[in-house]
Amino acid sequence: MHDIEGLVDGYQRFYANRNKEETRLYRRLAEQGQAPKTMVISCCDSRVDPSAIFDAGPGDLFVVRNVANLVPPFEPRGDYHGTSAALEFAVTGLQVENIVVMGHAHCGGVKAFLDGIYGRSDGSGFIDRWMSLLNPARAAMLQSDPGKKEGDHQQLLEMDSVRCSLENLQTFPFVKDAVSRNTLRLRGAYFSIFHSSLLGLDPESDTFLLVDV
């Protein structure tokens, strides 16, 4: 699908192939509103679709996608905060019970950041400022294990982007409050595009473990 005509064709297939149950589902969601239990924060990479990976239907997931699946720290003053606004709506409005931050292999944003294309402190672009959120994680990674190959560095930083976002989530007062009341759980995940495998971040060991299939 490479053009608008392809999108139209896709919609026509979607409309023609919906069964009666899906039609009733959409009507119920329109009448009753949404009530997803889980929010997923993932990369906007076209190869990583949370709804497809988790086999979720309409109304199941509240999804936010951005470059490198990052969550900024709590900043009540500033300009426009799309991810922070979505997070606030999910926790205080929808009262989701889970937030999953999902990173992935072969992340173009992380690779460009490691290559020095994005994330420069003097950069004026939107992506520069956004990717600079990973500067502390990158510095710590290179200092702790400078001998690793470039590909290993990329995977480590892709996983650290998940850890960074989970840490930043807890700087939001409404998230911290919900976690303390045990009404909200924070989880990390990592998707391998090549193998279609999913890893979950174990909160006890702080390591990514393969999810059984």
* CATH architecture for residues 36-210: 3-Layer(aba) Sandwich (3.40)
pLDDT 10s digits, 154-188: 999 999 999 999 999 999 999 999 999 999 999 99
pLDDT 10s digits, 133-151: 999 898 888 777 666 655 6
Question: Angle of helix 150-169 relative to helix 135-144, nearest 10 degrees?
Answer: 130
CATH 3.40.1050.10 residue spans of the chain: 36-210
pLDDT number for residue 123: 64
pLDDT 10s digits, 108-139: 999 999 998 887 666 678 899 899 999 989 88
Q: What is the mean pLDDT of residues 67-78?
A: 91
Q: What is the mean pLDDT of residues 58-85?
A: 93
82 φ/ψ angles, rounded to the nearest 5 degrees: -65, -50
Count the Cβ atoms, other than its own, within 10 Å of residue 6.
Answer: 10
Residue that has been written with the tokens 């679709």 in this structure: 49
Does 28 qualify as catalytic in the annotation? Answer: no
- Give me the catalytic one of 9, 28, 47, 115: 47
Does 43 qualify as catalytic in the annotation? Answer: yes
pLDDT number for residue 18: 81
C-alpha of 65 from chain center: 6
Higher local confidence (pLDDT), 78 or 185: 185
Contacts of 120 (CB under 8 A, 6+ apart): 128, 132
| Tokens coding 38 | 């889980």
Does 104 qualify as catalytic in the annotation? Answer: yes
Average pLDDT, the chain: 92
pLDDT number for residue 151: 61
- Give me the catalytic one of 2, 27, 28, 43: 43
pLDDT > 60? residue 31: yes
Strand partners, 199: 190, 210
pLDDT > 70? residue 85: yes
pLDDT number for residue 71: 97
- Give me the catalytic one of 107, 153, 160, 164: 107
CA atoms within 13 A on the CB side of 21: 2
> By the 8 A CB rule, do 103 and 162 touch?
yes
- Give me the catalytic one of 65, 104, 138, 153: 104
